[in-house]
Structure 1
Amino acid sequence: MDSLAVVLLAVFSGGYLVLAGADVGVGMLLPWLGRDERERRLVIASFAPFFLGNEVWLVAAAGLVGGGFPGLEHELLEGLYPLVVVLLIGWVVRDTGLWLRGRVDAVAWRGGCDAAVVAGSWALALAWGSVLGSVVAGGGLNVGSVLGLPLAVLFAWHGAGFARWRLPAGLAERAGRIPSRYGLSALVMAGAPVVAGSQVRWSEVVADGAGLTMTAVGTVVVLPLLLASQALVWWTFRGRVESPSYL
């Protein structure tokens, strides 16, 4: 059961980084990909149908950590508390910018919301990069923070590959100036939590008894539903974006 829970955590955390990492990366590149209001609306429309569903993977991963690996949850919250705070603030700022930008039809309002999307996306990428770096470094916050910037670049690289696939021809060519392919960057993002997880002493952080069993079984039940819903959304919006979204 321990091994199953570890594999499930790798699947959910890797799924989050692959899926949500793309919209975070696009948000980081928003000022460069979208040079005016019309272009920025198209850039945001490229990931608008996906970003809420992508965040479900993080919620599932957090639930699995809390129920199956309480020791890991304690280590992350205690040792990396500043990074967790930055991550949560970045998440709120980015999502707030996305939800509010379409509520007022004013240039200054949309510009402020776009700035929130960019700032929140960079905060998320730097925080996640630092968290992964800290785990790889054995829990060291200082060393992990140093690794945060190069690891955050992976998000931008991944976002460029996603934008190249989803944006209209002209904007896709701009994204194509970054040598990235979505499939390749997805493999790298999926491998990041596996590399970080190889440094964790799982036997010391795993839950005992019924708590682990219930968490693992519940996660196994949820996984097919999540995969099916994601597949439906991605199939529905598989083409290039043609017009602005509701955001």
Structure 2
Amino acid sequence: MEIFVLAFFAIGYLILAGADIGIGMLLPYLGRTSDQRREVIAAIAPFFLGNEVWLVATGGILAGLFPTLEGELLSGNYGVIVALLASWVLRDMGLWLRGRVLAGGWQALWDGVIVAGSWGLALSLGTLLSDILLGVSGPVGMLPALIMAVLFAAHGLAFASLRLRGELRARATVLSAQTGEGVTYALTSGVIAALAIVAGLRLPLTDSHTGVAAFLAPVVLVLIPFLVAAQAWVWWTFRHRVTGPSYL
């Protein structure tokens, strides 16, 4: 049961946050002016903080139920984990400060920080998955990481095509013209989920602590319906296309 809980949160994070990571990666392409970029950011504004809850939950479950695996991932990929966390902080800093520190060309700087942080997140996650799936790391591991980053970018375009309108939507639908926006998003979500499942099957997930699991697993199972309900409420509330800038 603990394995399914870990998989639920890990896959949920990759699919949900993969969309806002992809949009951040392609921010200069989707938004050619400062106002357009702010409207593009508005497409992910209601979602990105909630999406990060799934990553925090994944880390907590990994530390609580699979400490040996956590130690192996950290010790074998210390630099990647540091890059992932740094990219996470930078991307969020750029999102929060972009609409608040504007004078003296700072807005362009924050746009660059958002793009760099998003690429850092995508490449870090891709490097982890390539190490788990293929057992490759270092410069060789960058090729699978780049493929994963391209997948995140495609996923972000699919999500942007569902959220944006007009000229911005036209740019985002470059991959969805033939299949439709919803189909493209479902396809990219399916590929991300499949890669995560294959990676999970290669991990030693049999060392969960029985005592911790007896306490933590029921708590998590009780909280999952509330988390899913909250996520569904946010998606339903903000189901309409973006019509202008948001609070970011």
TM-score (ref. length: structure 1): 0.94
Deviation at residue 177 of structure 1 after TM alignment: 1.2
* 1:147-176 superposed Cα distances (whole Å, 9 cap, x missing partner): 111111111010000001001122111111
Alignment of 1:5-20 (within 5 A): 5-20=2-17
**What is the letter of the counterpart of residue 79 of structure 1?**
G
Post-superposition shift, 1:104?
2.5
State the match for 1:238 in structure 2. 239
Change (3 A) 1:107 1:185: farther
Q: What CA distance in whole angstroms lies between the structure 1 residues aligned with 2:153 and 2:57?
A: 24
Alignment of 1:78-227 (within 5 A): 78-106=75-103, 108-138=105-135, 140-142=136-138, 143-179=140-176, 181-203=184-206, 206-227=207-228
1:184 Cα deviation after fit = 1.4
Residue 56 in structure 1 maps to residue 59 in structure 2: no
* Contact preservation (8 Å) 1:134, 1:145: no
After superposition, give the CA deviation of every residue in 1:4-51 in whole Å (9 maximum; x if it has no partner).
111111110010011111000000000000000111011000000100
| 2:89 counterpart SS class | helix
Deviation at 1:107, TM superposition (A): 6.5
Partner Cα distance (2:164, 2:28) in 1: 15
Secondary structure, counterpart of 1:176 in structure 2: helix
- Contact preservation (8 Å) 1:14, 1:192: no
How far the C-alpha of 1:230 sits from its partner, in A, is 0.4
* Gap regions ≥5 residues in structure 1: none
Runs of 4+, deviation exceeding 2 Å:
104-107, 140-146
Check whether the contact 2:69–2:204 (CA below 8 A) recurs between aligned residues.
Answer: no
1:108 CA displacement:
1.0
Does the 8 Å CA contact 1:14/1:191 hold for their aligned counterparts? no
Counterparts of 1:122 and 1:217, CA distance in 2: 36
Matched to 2:80, the amino acid is L
CA distance in 2, matches of 1:240, 1:13: 27
Q: CA deviation at 1:245?
A: 0.5
Query: Equivalent residue of 1:202, what SS?
Result: coil
d(CA) in 1 for partners of 2:3 and 2:214?
Answer: 12
CA–CA distance in structure 2, aligned partners of residues 115 and 105 of structure 1: 14
- Partner Cα distance (2:217, 2:174) in 1: 43
Give, in angstroms, the shift of residue 141 of structure 1: 2.5
Number of aligned residue pairs: 241
Query: What's the offset of the Cα at 1:213?
Result: 2.1
Output one character per residue of 1:32-79: Cα deviation in whole Å (capped at 9) or x when no partner: 000001110110000001000000000111111001111110011000
Amino acid at match of 1:187: G
